A and B are shown apart, each in its own frame.
Chain A
């Protein structure tokens, strides 16, 4: 039942199709383009607060995003731009939330990665790592109550997030309830500046799966093929009623924790190791090797992505920003309580 070997799993069914691979690659490319723009806007002082980018993690994220179906539930974390887009996030909302637009998903009340449309199954993370896992699990409990047996949920977490009590409680609870939950651990080697050696003492994070009684898999997070194969397997297992699935993808965060951090503390050797491969380049090379897309075609895709991003930014920049004078300053959803607060 369990595959908790530390070696990346290969030849897992179903095989990766050209169509699926290209679709995933497109989201990776768009995410990278979005994030390069975010970085440039941040450097230009157009974005207040942090800008958290997922360079090097697009393959894992895109794989999750495209393998979830309409009606599924997704709880993305910090470095999931590709998955968010693949799951249906609109391009303009990314810029709206970073600008603090009145039209944005939180109307300026929260920023950067703290966005989603929870009622549509796209959850909005808070900063406290690990705490989203039980929320996604609870959404699946609700689906079970409502008789929806086809939906699954997926959520991601980093190597650092696995050290939280919240993560442990949630995965254990999901296992007890046998929920169709895919938990993708992206081991990008660093939690802010803390390396794996100061984060956990087990040989491999996937070894924890057996302790929770869930199925566990590893994948090469730099290789879109590996990600598509393993995440497809895990989502199928979850859909087929085999309970929570834990997938550990290994890669390297190819930049600092956020744009204010240059990652000076990172081991430079890692950048030259297999972990340090840029998944977008690996995927592009694979497209060429398979003769699924030549360089000219990829260039066209890149230009298209850039154009889409520029259009979204331009539109978002023309929209009004949040304004204290039309903020309700009321935290309550209950109409009567909100009215009572206004009167007082």
Chain B
């Protein structure tokens, strides 16, 4: 028996609904229809009245989740696509993210964001918005790369007392499989060394972890041993694990699917240089998607985002120093 990344998300929600009466799910088409990606399939039937269809009103969806959280509920909001969460940015970054700071009342909401590119999805169904949300104080931004993390981190997102932006990658939904789901996982603010190496650290998160691992496999044939750090969450950022890895390898390459300007990669590199300049044998490099909207055509899309080959090429350049 195997379970996909998407099924893990569904299972986590089922467990959360079963274990915690404060949990409910709110989003467009999540009830009888089971969600645009079927992440809430059958949950409305299993938990009558606790999986609610919302109007196309992302602002009100999040606003109401905040109000319910204030009253002690643990809402999970499903954005149909991460892209549409921009309609709710005000509620997320101004209302939810500041609530505890302002009032000492916690805001335990989870906002699931189907993120990242998929073939043919185009500019408005492909965005990776983790850098945007990570910018705002008070939010936790999770970017799981594995089936196991998708499951345990979503459960953790529901449990913790702060608003969580849960960036689940659409490309991984049905492509990643695991044999079983774990009972527990690392806490969300700890990165994970996904592959041990001695020559180069590649820091990645979400779907890009798999591109990094594929690149590492290729580079091994060239006798370059790559260590891959999976950030797991981009806020809070586990700089310690990154620095510990760089201390071993002396070279750093960051890979993220979001846009380059002021993003997660920039933050990781800034931290690494600030705290670990003396550890580095070469200037840290980064690979992001190109600084344009995400294109529709499969060929354009493939060239827009970081690729295994692009990572391999950037890694090789790091050894020219």
Contact of B59 among A126, A142, A166 (CB under 8 A): A166
Q: Across the interface, which residues of A come within 8 angstroms of B69, CB to CB? A: 138, 142
B63 touches A145 (CB 8 A): no
Contact of A340 among B64, B161, B189 (CB under 8 A): B189
B64 touches A135 (CB 8 A): yes
B70 touches A336 (CB 8 A): no
Stretch from B7-15, B103-111, B145-153 forming part of the interface with A: B103-111
Residue from A105, A118, A176 whose CB has the most chain B CB atoms within 10 Å: A118
Determine if B215 is an interface residue (Cβ-Cβ < 8 Å): no
Provide the main secondary structure of the chain B interface.
helix
B59 touches A135 (CB 8 A): no
Contact with B along A167-181 (1 / 0, CB 8 A): 001101100100000
Determine if A311 is an interface residue (Cβ-Cβ < 8 Å): no
Determine if A116 is an interface residue (Cβ-Cβ < 8 Å): yes
Contact with A along B44-74 (1 / 0, CB 8 A): 0000001000110111111111111111110
Determine if B214 is an interface residue (Cβ-Cβ < 8 Å): no
A142 touches B161 (CB 8 A): no
Contact with B along A287-314 (1 / 0, CB 8 A): 0000000000000000000000000000
Determine if A242 is an interface residue (Cβ-Cβ < 8 Å): no
Nearest chain B CB to A271's CB is how many angstroms away?
35
Nearest chain B CB to A263's CB is how many angstroms away?
28
Stretch from B91-99, B177-185, B201-209 forming part of the interface with A: B91-99
Knowing A128-B90, A332-B100, say if A169 contacts B60 (CB, 8 Å): yes
Knowing A169-B57, A332-B162, A334-B162, say if A126 contacts B103 (CB, 8 Å): no
Nearest chain A CB to B232's CB is how many angstroms away?
14
Complex Cα spacing A134 to B66, Å: 9
Q: Across the interface, which residues of A come within 8 angstroms of B236, CB to CB? A: 337, 340-341, 344
Determine if B119 is an interface residue (Cβ-Cβ < 8 Å): no
Nearest chain B CB to A298's CB is how many angstroms away?
37
Complex Cα spacing A332 to B68, Å: 19
Complex Cα spacing A33 to B288, Å: 59
Determine if B114 is an interface residue (Cβ-Cβ < 8 Å): no
B67 touches A166 (CB 8 A): no
B161 touches A334 (CB 8 A): yes
Knowing A172-B55, A331-B138, say if A142 contacts B60 (CB, 8 Å): no
Q: Across the interface, which residues of A come within 8 angstroms of B72, CB to CB? A: 142, 146
Contact of B64 among A134, A332, A335 (CB under 8 A): A134
Q: Across the interface, which residues of A come within 8 angstroms of B65, CB to CB? A: 138
B100 touches A141 (CB 8 A): no
Interface size of B by Cβ–Cβ distance < 8 Å?
A: 49
Q: Across the interface, which residues of A come within 8 angstroms of B283, CB to CB? A: none
Determine if A110 is an interface residue (Cβ-Cβ < 8 Å): yes
Within 8 A of B (CB), among A137-169: 137-143, 145-146, 165-166, 169
Q: Which residue of B lies closest to A143 (CB)?
A: B71
Complex Cα spacing A128 to B66, Å: 15
Knowing A336-B187, A337-B162, say if A138 contacts B67 (CB, 8 Å): yes
Complex Cα spacing A341 to B240, Å: 12
Knowing A119-B70, A128-B90, A145-B24, say if A106 contacts B60 (CB, 8 Å): no
Nearest chain A CB to B152's CB is how many angstroms away?
15
B98 touches A142 (CB 8 A): no
Q: Which residue of B lies closest to A116 (CB)?
A: B103
Q: Which residue of B lies closest to A142 (CB)?
A: B71
B94 touches A126 (CB 8 A): yes
Contact with B along A118-141 (1 / 0, CB 8 A): 110001101110011111111111
Determine if A201 is an interface residue (Cβ-Cβ < 8 Å): no
B60 touches A333 (CB 8 A): no
Q: Which residue of B lies closest to A179 (CB)?
A: B64
B59 touches A141 (CB 8 A): no
Complex Cα spacing A123 to B236, Å: 28
Knowing A137-B64, A333-B107, say if A165 contacts B59 (CB, 8 Å): yes
B95 touches A131 (CB 8 A): yes
B100 touches A133 (CB 8 A): no
Nearest chain A CB to B156's CB is how many angstroms away?
10
A141 touches B99 (CB 8 A): no
Determine if B268 is an interface residue (Cβ-Cβ < 8 Å): no
Within 8 A of B (CB), among A312-338: 331-337
Contact of A331 among B137, B189, B239 (CB under 8 A): B137
Determine if A109 is an interface residue (Cβ-Cβ < 8 Å): yes
Nearest chain B CB to A109's CB is how many angstroms away?
6
Q: Which residue of B lies closest to A137 (CB)?
A: B64
Complex Cα spacing A135 to B61, Å: 9
B55 touches A176 (CB 8 A): yes
A135 touches B67 (CB 8 A): yes
Nearest chain B CB to A90's CB is how many angstroms away?
15
Determine if B312 is an interface residue (Cβ-Cβ < 8 Å): no
Determine if B102 is an interface residue (Cβ-Cβ < 8 Å): yes
Q: Across the interface, which residues of A come within 8 angstroms of B97, CB to CB? A: 331
Determine if A114 is an interface residue (Cβ-Cβ < 8 Å): yes
Complex Cα spacing A116 to B103, Å: 7
A145 touches B102 (CB 8 A): no
Complex Cα spacing A173 to B161, Å: 26
Nearest chain A CB to B139's CB is how many angstroms away?
8
Name 7 interchain pairs, CB-CB below 8 A, sorted by A: A114-B102, A135-B67, A142-B71, A169-B58, A169-B63, A333-B161, A337-B162
CB-CB nearest 7 A-B residue pairs: A138-B67, A134-B63, A138-B64, A142-B71, A169-B57, A169-B60, A333-B106
Other than A133-B63, A134-B62, give 20 A-B pairs with Cβ distance below 8 A. A106-B102, A110-B102, A114-B102, A123-B70, A126-B94, A131-B59, A131-B90, A134-B64, A135-B64, A137-B67, A139-B68, A143-B71, A169-B60, A170-B63, A173-B64, A331-B100, A332-B138, A333-B106, A334-B140, A341-B236
